């Protein structure tokens, strides 16, 4: 990301002159108060947003210049975990993952092999036939993570993934993300939760009013940053 700014038609600036490089296999926390640019930063990486100026490069591609077919290819290489889960309520845990695979053209044989593997990886194999409504918030978020990693993408983005979870479920989810990172998957977690940041002691990029305030390897949550 080089000299990236994002300004909306109403004049609000989400990001201003942001330059940052995140290497393959890194685990990064993107921290800062709500409304200070974290979600916009992530949306740029999977091309839900495009910069007003500057360049966003993912796997060597300038995402703003991608054709629709290339955007689809990019999104198959990026797994996204949202705070509100975004699960399909009328489908079981198994079917939620299978559906995400089917829409990318994955073969039936690969689906039947992949779904149990990722459910087991997040500790939900016994919940394969359960609907989201029958699962706890922590289980739903782990299911959302299983769906995100089903295609084994090289990049995982998690936008406030612990926002609806209790402290133990939050710690469990972050440990899962750390284990996925050990497979050389790049993981970027946007959060304003100091507990998980201080627990992990990974690279911490702090955003404040759309600008990078600090970028610290093996850091904690900045005391002066605020969370609201």
Which domain-ending residue is among 151, 171, 203? Answer: 151
Which domain-ending residue is among 151, 173, 202? Answer: 151
Beta strands in 38-101 (DSSP E): 53-55, 57-58, 61-62, 78-82
Residues 157, 73 share a domain: yes
Q: Token pair for residue 136?
A: 């706890």
Whether the per-residue pLDDT at 206 is higher than 90: the answer is: yes
Q: Could you read off the pLDDT of 154-175 as tens digits, one per residue? A: 999 999 998 888 889 999 999 9
Residues 126, 170 share a domain: no
Which domain-ending residue is among 130, 151, 172? Answer: 151
Identify the residue with better confidence: 34 or 119.
119
To which H or E segment does residue 158 belong? Answer: strand 155-159
Whether the per-residue pLDDT at 226 is higher than 80: the answer is: no
Residues 135, 22 share a domain: no
Residues 184, 136 share a domain: no
Residues 7, 66 share a domain: yes
Residues 67, 7 share a domain: yes
Q: What are phi and psi of 148, to 5 degrees?
A: -65, -30
Within a domain: 66 = yes
Residues 143, 178 share a domain: no
Within a domain: 131 = yes
Within a domain: 226 = no
Domain span at residue 128 reads 88-151
Within a domain: 228 = no
For residues 46-61, average pLDDT: 94
Residues 170, 101 share a domain: no
Within a domain: 24 = yes
Whether the per-residue pLDDT at 112 is higher than 70: the answer is: yes
Instruction: Give the pLDDT of residue 224.
Output: 77
Label residue 225 by pLDDT band (50, 70, 90).
confident
Residues 144, 158 share a domain: no
Q: Token pair for residue 32?
A: 């800062």
Within a domain: 41 = yes
For residues 2-6, average pLDDT: 97
* Three-state SS sequence of 84-118: CCCCCCCCCHHHHHHHHHHCCCCCHHHHHHHHHHH
For residues 71-83, average pLDDT: 91
Q: What is the CATH number of the domain that holds 198?
A: 3.40.50.300
Indicate the number of domains in the chain.
2
Residues 124, 212 share a domain: no
Identify the residue with better confidence: 163 or 118.
118
Residues 207, 161 share a domain: yes
For residues 10-24, average pLDDT: 94
Whether the per-residue pLDDT at 228 is higher than 60: the answer is: no
For residues 19-47, average pLDDT: 95
Label residue 227 by pLDDT band (50, 70, 90).
low
To which H or E segment does residue 176 belong? Answer: helix 167-181
Residues 109, 195 share a domain: no
Within a domain: 108 = yes
Within a domain: 83 = no
Q: Token pair for residue 217?
A: 């390897």
């Amino acid at each position: 990301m080089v000299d990236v700014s994002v300004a909306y038609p109403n004049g609000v600036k989400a990001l201003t002159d942001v330059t940052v490089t995140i290497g393959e296999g890194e685990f990064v926390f993107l921290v800062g108060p709500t409304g200070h640019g974290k979600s916009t930063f992530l949306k740029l990486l999977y091309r839900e947003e495009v910069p007003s100026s500057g360049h966003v490069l993912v796997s060597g591609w300038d995402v703003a210049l991608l054709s629709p077919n290339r955007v689809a290819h990019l999104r198959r290489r990026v797994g996204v975990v949202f705070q509100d889960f975004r699960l399909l309520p009328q489908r079981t845990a198994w079917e939620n993952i299978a559906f995400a695979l089917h829409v990318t053209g994955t073969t039936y044989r690969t689906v039947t092999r992949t779904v149990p593997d990722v459910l087991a990886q997040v500790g939900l194999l016994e919940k394969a036939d359960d609907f989201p409504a029958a699962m706890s918030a922590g289980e739903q978020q782990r299911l959302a993570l299983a769906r995100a990693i089903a295609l084994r993408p090289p990049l995982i983005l998690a936008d406030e993934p612990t926002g609806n979870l209790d402290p133990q479920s939050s710690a469990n989810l972050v440990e899962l993300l750390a284990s996925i990172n050990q497979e050389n998957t790049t993981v970027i977690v946007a959060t304003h939760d100091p507990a998980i940041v201080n627990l992990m002691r990974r690279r911490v990029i702090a955003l404040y009013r759309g600008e990078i305030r600090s970028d610290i390897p093996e850091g904690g949550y900045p005391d002066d940053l605020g969370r609201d």
